[in-house]
Amino acid sequence: MARKRTMSASTFRRGINFWPPFLFAGIRVLAVSDDFRSAKVRLRLGRLNRNYVGTHFGGSIFAMTDPFWMLLVMQNLGRGYVVWDAAAEIEFVSPGRGDIFAEFVLTDDRLAEIRELTQEGKKALIWFDTEVLAADGSVVARVRKQVYVREKRPAQPAT
């Protein structure tokens, strides 16, 4: 089901790249599809996001993945739904020593699943998995995000 968007994907991408938590951490959104079904993010290793042993700071790795599942779901379901981040987990697999990347793809099947789970105002807690990869394709971290979704309740008439 189509939804009128409040901003284009390219405007969103340009704007989020200037959001201070991304800008100062070296996080760059490389792409957001026009339909908000996918996004690709890069984290460069620099002086401001390097940890004590010279690899990527774990908080920056998490930050690069933080908002995307919620935003993609929100943009695709529309204003008739409440969408929030509910929980997160991160597993650090190997040290990140150079540019690292994360990609998010929201499929038709996942959207259909969410709509089915939230019928009649029911809430759903949906887990999404993302691998953070080095340029050579090796896994740096695995991130799980849980997103809370439910249909908005109809407004109650004033009495």
For residue 73, give the CATH number of its domain.
3.10.129.10
**Is residue 158, in this structure, part of any structural domain at all?**
no
Q: Which of 59, 54, 74, 91 is nearest to 150 (CA)?
A: 74
**Is residue 1, in this structure, part of any structural domain at all?**
no
Q: Token pair of 127, please?
A: 């887990």
84 vs 147: CA distance, rounded Å: 6
Q: Which residues of 69-88 are buried (b: 16+ CB within 10 A; e: fewer)?
A: bbbbbbbbbeeebebeeeeb
- Full-model pTM: 0.88
Digit-by-digit pLDDT tens for the chain (159 residues) are: 445 566 899 999 999 999 998 988 899 999 999 999 999 999 999 888 888 998 899 999 999 999 999 999 999 999 999 999 999 999 999 998 999 999 999 999 999 999 999 998 899 999 999 999 999 999 999 999 999 999 987 766 666
Q: Total structural domains in the chain?
A: 1
Q: Which of 126, 103, 127 is nearest to 115 (CA)?
A: 126
Domain extent for 38: 9-151
**Is residue 72, in this structure, part of any structural domain at all?**
yes
Q: What are residue 134's phi and psi, to 5 degrees? A: -75, 170
pLDDT in the model for residue 50: 86
**Is residue 3, in this structure, part of any structural domain at all?**
no
Q: What are residue 109's phi and psi, to 5 degrees? A: -60, -40
Q: Which of 55, 147, 42, 144 is nearest to 96 (CA)?
A: 55
123 vs 117: CA distance, rounded Å: 7
Helices 108-117, 68-77: axis angle to 10 degrees equals 70
**Is residue 156, in this structure, part of any structural domain at all?**
no
pLDDT in the model for residue 29: 96
